[in-house]
Amino acid sequence: MYRDRIRNAGLYNRIVTADEAALLIRDGMTVGMSGFTRAGEAKAVPLALAERAKREPMKITLMTGASLGNDLDKTFAEAHLLSRRIPFQSDPGLRKAINAGEVMFVDQHLSETVEMLRTHQLPDIDIAIVEAVAITETGGIVPTTSVGNSASFAILAPKVIVEINLTQPLLLEGLHDIYIPTKRPHREPIPIVAPEGRAGLPYIQIPPEKIAAIVITEKLDSSAKVTPPDDETRAIAGHLIEFLRHEVKMGRMGTDLRPLQAGIGSVANAVLHGLIDSPFHDLKMYSEVLQDSTFDLFDAGKLVFASASSITLSAEKHDEVMPNIGAYKGRLLLRPQEISNHPEVVRRLGVIAINTALEFDIYGNVNSTHVGGTHMMNGIGGSGDFARNGFLSIFVTKSTAKDGKISSVVPMVSHVDHTEHDVGILITEQGLADLRGLAPRERAALVIRNCAHPSYRDALADYYTRAAARDGHTPHVIEEALSWHAALRERGTMMKD
């Protein structure tokens, strides 16, 4: 039984129910779970744990790769199970608890969590729960649709629960490259010099005796709700492609561009989708998540290789790709997020980083996380890992939100996740601002003219004119700099009467 999935016979006696496995988790523990961009999360034990927490109040610190699927974070929040959540989430229910101050959320660069764990700068992991395709003869854990932080969680935890998910195809085996950096101060260079570079093993190697429980599940990954491209996202993609054509023409890169990274979400997906009809070819991705667009680019013959930490697909794309995932072998790799997002590799490869902004200001500072400067949306995720180290650092957003009540271009952002030093190109459906090598006063003129929505352009220009009259490298009317956000809070709109 499950012999193709559990190949170490000594582990058969570890098979238990999810409820039994959940009993290994006690109040106050720090738990590391698999899951990244709603892919490959442990599914059964977390639910059993949440059920138990309803009867028997308990609190845990939960670390994951990134966001979880199957409404797990919602379920946890409803069960009041979480005291602390690290390093990312994207669930409306959990978000509410975070913004109410009920759950302490630590919003981290995705490459950094396990680095801090390894040196005991975060609470030690008491137990890891990892979804797997299979366990090898030697006890190696083969992850499913994401690697995330699973490898380091399993290596660092004294106990590991493995969920064998029978719906995850065995064909996924071989797609993973599990490389863990050597310990400082004796760390060697990460031996990856191309997106297709392999440096590790196709499974997570831990002593099999650490596997405290094995649970068999059959629950699917959640499917991504991908909004199809619309006029605005198509316009953003168009501006990007025009810009990239110009860069190629200027000799800054070839028609194979540089390895591409794109954040999760509909805008980034639409932007990548736009590359299908571009003059570029032999593209590669070195990203953190592969969405529908990746496979569309493969199928269009545009993409030759994709490296990431997870695969997150719509239901239709999932049904199309997953049964044939073997066909992508040799063209796909899934890595720990520490490596997919590692500053060393991102800078070495010269990645083109394309991430979504919530808002940006006239000087090029980007807010990716906080609505109105106070309310957490999802978290910074990997955007900083890529933006700070990429060859090009591009941020995209529609120029307005909430039916025009919010301008995504503001005098001063209400929270900074990416500083002016780390932002190269800004794109909205209105146009593109190339900020490279420009001083703040030059940036302001360009951002207002090219990126702001016409309905906010005059107000921004008026603000800038009055600010510049005051002197300063980065002119501001400081007592008015956040007045657009104050107006939004008070009146529900940034639009002047």
* Site map (CB under 8 A) of a second copy, residues 378-417, x = contact: --x---x---xx-x--------------------x-xxxx
User: Which region, judged by CB under 8 A, interacts with a second copy, from 44-52, 119-127, 201-209, 222-230?
Assistant: 119-127
Task: By CB under 8 A, tell whether 1 contacts a second copy.
Answer: no
Residue 190 CA to residue 175 CA, distance in Å, equals 19
Bridge-partner residues for 146, per DSSP? 310
Q: Which residues, numbered 422-441, are part of the site for a second copy (CB under 8 A)? A: 422, 424, 436-439, 441
Tell me whether residue 234 or residue 441 sits nearer to a second copy (CB atom): 441
Annotation marks residue 288 as catalytic? yes
Q: Is 254 annotated as a binding residue?
A: no
Alpha carbon 398 to its chain's center: 19
Q: Which of 8, 23, 93, 123 binds a second copy (CB under 8 A)?
A: 123
Q: How far is the CB of 149 from a second copy (least distance, A)?
A: 15
Residue 401 CA to residue 314 CA, distance in Å, equals 24
Task: By CB under 8 A, tell whether 442 contacts a second copy.
Answer: yes
User: Residue 225: which of 67, 377, 98, 86 has the closest Cα?
Assistant: 67
Cα pseudo-dihedral 356, 110, 422, 197, rounded to 10: -100
Q: Which of 250, 403, 454, 497 binds a second copy (CB under 8 A)?
A: 250
Q: How far is the CB of 93 from a second copy (least distance, A)?
A: 14
Bridge-partner residues for 394, per DSSP? 354, 425
Cα pseudo-dihedral 314, 319, 322, 325, rounded to 10: -110
DSSP for 134-198?
A: EE-TT--EEE-SB-BTHHHHHHH-SEEEEEEETTS-GGGTT-B-B--PPPTTSPPPP---STT--
Task: By CB under 8 A, tell whether 169 contacts a second copy.
Answer: no
Return the axis-axis angle of helices 266-273 and 231-249, rounded to nearest 10°.
50
Tell me whether residue 69 or residue 424 sits nearer to a second copy (CB atom): 424
Residue 26 CA to residue 68 CA, distance in Å, equals 21
Cα–Cα distance list, 297 to 264, 272, 294, 331, 451 (Å): 16, 8, 5, 12, 28
Q: Which residues, numbered 173-192, are part of the site for a second copy (CB under 8 A)? A: 184-191
**Can you tell me which residue has the tokens 């990431």?**
308
Bridge-partner residues for 215, per DSSP? 163
Q: Is 447 annotated as a binding residue?
A: no
Q: How far is the CB of 388 from a second copy (least distance, A)?
A: 6
Q: How far is the CB of 256 from a second copy (least distance, A)?
A: 9
User: Which region, judged by CB under 8 A, interacts with a second copy, from 126-134, 210-218, 420-428, 449-457?
Assistant: 420-428
Task: By CB under 8 A, tell whether 108 contacts a second copy.
Answer: yes
Q: How far is the CB of 97 from a second copy (least distance, A)?
A: 10
Q: Which of 198, 347, 405, 449 binds a second copy (CB under 8 A)?
A: 347
Residue 234 CA to residue 230 CA, distance in Å, equals 6
Q: Which residues, numbered 209-238, are part of the site for a second copy (CB under 8 A)? A: none
Tell me whether residue 326 or residue 343 sits nearer to a second copy (CB atom): 343
Q: Which residues, numbered 258-277, are part of the site for a second copy (CB under 8 A)? A: 258-259
Residue list for the binding site for CoA:
263-267, 378, 382, 402
Active site residues: 288
